[in-house]
Structure 1
Amino acid sequence: MMDYPLLLKSILYRAHTVFPEKEIVSRDYSGIFRYTYADLYKRVCRLAGALDRLGVQAGDKVGTFAWNNHRHLELYFAVPCSQRVLHTVNIRLFQEQLVYTINHAEDKVLFVDEDLVPIIEGIADQLPLVQAYVIMTDKDSLPDTTLKNVYLYEQLIADGPDVYEFPSFDENTPAIIGYTSATTGMPKGVVYTHRGLYLHCLTTLVGELGSDERDVTMPIVPMFHVNAWGRPFSDTWVGAKQVYPGSRPQPEDFCELIHNERVTFSAGVPTIWMGILNHVRANPGRYDFSCVRYFLSGGSALPASLTEAYEKELGVRLYQGYGQTETSPVTFVCFPKSSLDDLPESEKYRLRTKSGLLLPGLEMKIVNSEGREVAHDGKEMGELLLRGPWIINEYYKDPEKTKEAFADGWFRTGDIVTIDENGYLQVIDRTRDLIKSGGEWISSVDLENTIMAHPDVLEAAVIGIPSEKWQERPLACVVLKPEAKGRVKKEDILKFLEDKVAKWWIPDDVVFIDEIPKTSVGKFSKKTLREQYEQGKLIKFNDPHVPFRH
């Protein structure tokens, strides 16, 4: 066999060679922008040449601070295919974290979407390694800015040649660096190699998860975090029509794009799917989702009530996936096996909320606190360990965190899970979010999903609070639907749970709040809720005459 390196440039090559006519659609600042894979290839070549002129060398880091759009897609290919390293900066990190990640990655050039420029202006004096800024917009001139050494993206690539000799190099060369969403401490750097991304891409095209050139895909998961779950690469490889939702998209924007562009597949976190469902409900008859093959949900647990609502109200199958920043990210996807086709309807909806089946090419191990592998019975819990060609072997320039994260060559995910006799993984909780009450474990995730099945509940998050008697007890933080505020009381929520969970799982109290705080990637931030509880800030939402500190 040929010694042929697995490089991302082969994905770009196939797209412009086999599918030059296929369309890419992007919601730009001035309206909808359309072009083809042939156009994409030319602009990627021009961009790679522009990086040469800017003095960016092989191995240098190029940062992006951008939304999901066609210019970001061009950077996804131009930077790594020309042997530089793309750093997708998470736009929702705090200023201190932004400064840390940009400096830690040692970004030499930073590409910034127009509406995000003020954020970078506020920290530019703390970024000594950034030598140039490139502003991305569809306007003809640079906006007013205090940034120094600034270029306009479209002008930068306007005069370059439409061809570029993309080099060959070792497939283990870094392609992209991303950072974790920093639920504890500073974000940790994760380096993705060409080989890892190539194999991740191949595997995610297997079976029902895969797309083909007849698909119309819309990645809602951000390109600034975990490679948009690999969709920009896999969908380009197969020549699918791609739709990018652009700057600050709202549920209405997603619905319009699905309806108008006839989207067949999209991926996002549960909060996104909740927002889309509520918008469709508020606008009956306005949208046709019959084009959709399925949607994929990940990032946090998928409530059974949500997947049932999607199928019954929108005619759309909503499935669950699982992964982490450290795993490129996809490792499990929950599709029904043919042997389970005869399950009752309610069981099928419940099955879809599981984290899923292990993807080809990976190995897993689930171990308890004594290091023994758990039974595949769907009951015994343990920590999930993974290894495979797109699982990290270290954190970037962080030996201390690396040492904590690995055990005998296995990556410790930090997730407590079960696995059933059919091979379906179920994430019970993060190790830090499990609630230990009277020596027994309570899954905050399961409790949240049960509460969110209440017809008047919009969102729910459960945290453990100290208890002198039981060590910890669950506290439910609930966001009601607008029409239910003032009508639904905590007793209604607790009564709803009585025949659905074990008696000792029922929260000691329910706090009604206006919004669940979110992490930078849209997950419930239980860390923030715990901090608010410790600071006494949650009390103001509760009945002041009923204390809930235990």
Structure 2
Amino acid sequence: MNRVDPPWAWMTLPPAHLAPFAGEWRGKTLADLAHEKADADPGFIALIDEKRSLTRREWLNDAQALANALYARGLRQGDTIAFQTPNWHEAGILNLACAILGLVVNPIVPIYRDAEVEMMLRDCRARAIFTCTEFRRFDFAAMAERLAPGLEHLDHVFTVRGTGRDDLAAMVAEGRDLPSPDVPVDAGSVKMVLFTSGTTGRPKGVLHSHDTLENIVRKSYAHWRIGDGETLLMPSPVTHVSGYANGLETPFIVGTRVVLMESWNAAEAVRLIEEHDVVGTVAATPFLVELADTAREAGTRLPTMRMFACGGAAVPPELIPAANAAFENMRAFRVFGASEVPLVSFGWPDNEHLAATTDGEVVDYEVKLVDDEGLPVAAGQEGEILARGPSMMLGYADEAQSAAAFDDEGYFKTGDLGVLSPEGAITITGRKKDLIIRGGENISAVEIEDVLRTHPLVKDASVVAMPHERLGEGVCAYVIAAGETPEIEVLCAHVAASGLAKQKTPERFIFVDDYPRTASGKIRKDQLRADVKARIEEERAEARA
């Protein structure tokens, strides 16, 4: 067995930037809360997917059985367990089993392939991974087996909805006959390591505790007035911080029922909302547009729906009232946050104007806006958003990355630009970080550029976000050719062959002789973004003519 210290062993808990907020935590793990909810109402159906409905007691019993089996295989408190699955109920069982044993979960989005998955498993020193077998014509289990020999810390490849002794269902059955270990777990300990795209091209491991995640879930749903016994729909991936917290954690933190969607389909969402009396969801902006359009077409106003918190893509001000008009009681609103600082703003469910024109009300965080020198900007002026509060991350797994992420007062540097109104409304105006947000998925431009530059016909590449009608932003590559201009198909195949997720393959290539630059030679990506935006607007105007 490869028992090793995690890469974050250097960290003191709670870290200095979180210590002032410790009094706001309840000090309960997800396992503690699961026992409380199961004892209070064991028969309440808490989790639903297309395969199974789980009561609170069934969920807890299956998780305990899986925990027993994992313990019998040598997994111990502090070990990291990765999982790469769609929105399946098994992810909920695994997540709770890890909480019972004090294991650290590493959710990996299913769009990722060999290059990203290997890096994440190596960086967090995962000792095991649970992976779906074949999903959307890709064999995830085969990928994990392919990577395992090169990962010295990875002892186990487990499957979900597969076969054999090392499949999750078989392990649950096995664990029912095994003793349950008594493992005291500190709610302040590391619970999750989630990799998020950074400006350097290498994703960073965001660390959260039971306390930090429980705090934001509990307070946001209190703000939205959704509580015990009500039903949520979760189409966002449970391997994202939003889908994870709202899909796998709310049933025991808030007491809700969650209906998981394996993949987004607006017509199916309408059916599920009506069948299960769904009251709300947290999802990407394109889902809101499509849900409203589909509800109109179906002739339903979905009266049970009360809230839709959206973010992850630009939200035009007219979108919110237009969407609200499609529903009888629902109020949509914008929210702002990141994996490092989940939900800096909770939204304005009772103020349609502010819900449409701002990115939400700052509730549980302290926020300040600063200029490029780190100095506060004047009221109403644009600045980089810095935030601190009881739900921010413990830090990054890498000590140097973590130290650089906070200022001297313990504020996290979001890299987003915005303005703050006197009533506490935050409005995002731009981004300092070199990220592309495609349908809520953060994509690093740098890692795509690095791959493109390895092609012999590419002298240089600069990747930027471009407008996308459905997903908010798409991927555009400005390329300087090394001699003859390469075929676009050739460059697409080159990116695909690198092992990056297919969503990172540029959707548009623009070949140029040079880039606009600053006096010091830095590429003016703001001008590249403006250029591709103008090109797309011109094409759309010509198409309408």
State the TM-score, normalizing by the size of structure 2. 0.71
Post-superposition offset of 1:69: 2.2
Q: 1:353 to 1:74 in 2, by over 3 A?
A: farther
Contact map agreement 1:65 1:224 (CA 8 A) in 2: yes
Aligned partner of 1:245 in structure 2 is 261
Post-superposition offset of 1:182: 4.7
Aligned partner of 1:300 in structure 2 is 313
Q: Provide the aligned C-alpha RMSD in A.
A: 3.6
Where does the alignment leave 5 or more consecutive residues of structure 2 unmatched?
1-22, 439-463, 472-500, 514-530
Contact map agreement 2:78 2:104 (CA 8 A) in 1: yes
Q: Give distance in 2, aligned partners of 1:165 and 1:250.
A: 41
What secondary structure is seen at the aligned counterpart in 2 of 1:332? coil
Q: Give distance in 2, aligned partners of 1:4 and 1:390.
A: 12
Aligned partner of 1:22 in structure 2 is 44
The question of 1:533 aligning with 2:536 is answered no
Aligned partner of 1:97 in structure 2 is 116
Contact map agreement 2:288 2:308 (CA 8 A) in 1: no
Aligned partner of 1:168 in structure 2 is 184
Where does the alignment leave 5 or more consecutive residues of structure 1 unmatched?
143-149, 342-347, 435-443, 449-473, 482-521
Aligned partner of 1:153 in structure 2 is 168
Give the alignment of 1:99-138 within 5 angstroms. 99-116=118-135, 118-122=139-143, 124-127=145-148, 128=151, 129-137=153-161
Give the alignment of 1:381-460 within 5 angstroms. 381-399=382-400, 401-408=401-408, 409-432=410-433
Q: Which has the higher relative contact order, 1 or 2, with Cα contacts under 8 A spaced 6 or more apart?
A: 2
Q: 1:244 to 1:113 in 2, by over 3 A?
A: same
Contact map agreement 1:356 1:424 (CA 8 A) in 2: yes
Q: 1:81 to 1:534 in 2, by over 3 A?
A: farther
- CA offset digits 1:506-549 (Å, max 9, x no partner): xxxxxxxxxxxxxxxx9x98x957x83356997998989x9xxx
Q: Give distance in 2, aligned partners of 1:404 and 1:56.
A: 32
Aligned partner of 1:438 in structure 2 is none
Q: 1:313 to 1:169 in 2, by over 3 A?
A: closer
- CA offset digits 1:82-138 (Å, max 9, x no partner): 11111111222343111101111111121112334613423533332322222222x
Q: Give distance in 1, aligned partners of 2:41 and 2:211.
A: 23
The amino acid across from 1:417 in the alignment is G
- CA offset digits 1:15-47 (Å, max 9, x no partner): 21112121134333xxx4223111111111101
The amino acid across from 2:509 in the alignment is Q
The amino acid across from 1:419 in the alignment is L
Alignment counterpart, residue 43 of structure 1, candidates 54, 59, 62: 62
Post-superposition offset of 1:174: 0.8
Q: Give distance in 2, aligned partners of 1:280 and 1:214.
A: 25
What secondary structure is seen at the aligned counterpart in 2 of 1:385? strand
The amino acid across from 2:371 in the alignment is N
Q: Give distance in 2, aligned partners of 1:239 and 1:202.
A: 10
The amino acid across from 1:391 in the alignment is M
Contact map agreement 1:172 1:193 (CA 8 A) in 2: yes
What secondary structure is seen at the aligned counterpart in 2 of 1:274? helix
Alignment counterpart, residue 209 of structure 2, candidates 186, 189, 193: 193
Q: 1:175 to 1:300 in 2, by over 3 A?
A: same
Aligned partner of 1:492 in structure 2 is none
Contact map agreement 2:46 2:251 (CA 8 A) in 1: no
Q: 1:251 to 1:374 in 2, by over 3 A?
A: same
Post-superposition offset of 1:203: 2.2
Contact map agreement 1:15 1:239 (CA 8 A) in 2: yes
Q: Give distance in 2, aligned partners of 1:389 and 1:376.
A: 25
Aligned partner of 2:522 in structure 1 is none
Alignment counterpart, residue 317 of structure 1, candidates 316, 321, 331: 331
Aligned partner of 2:370 in structure 1 is 367
What secondary structure is seen at the aligned counterpart in 2 of 1:252? helix
Aligned partner of 1:12 in structure 2 is 34
Post-superposition offset of 1:333: 1.3
Q: 1:318 to 1:229 in 2, by over 3 A?
A: farther
Contact map agreement 1:259 1:288 (CA 8 A) in 2: no
What fraction of aligned residue pairs are identical, expressed as a percent?
A: 19
Moved more, 112-121 or 316-325: 112-121
The question of 1:332 aligning with 2:332 is answered no
Aligned partner of 1:218 in structure 2 is 233
The question of 1:358 aligning with 2:350 is answered no
- CA offset digits 1:125-176 (Å, max 9, x no partner): 3332322222222x7x45xxxxxxx612111111423884553233321111
- CA offset digits 1:478-501 (Å, max 9, x no partner): 6499xxxxxxxxxxxxxxxxxxxx
State the TM-score, normalizing by the size of structure 1. 0.71
Contact map agreement 1:8 1:77 (CA 8 A) in 2: yes
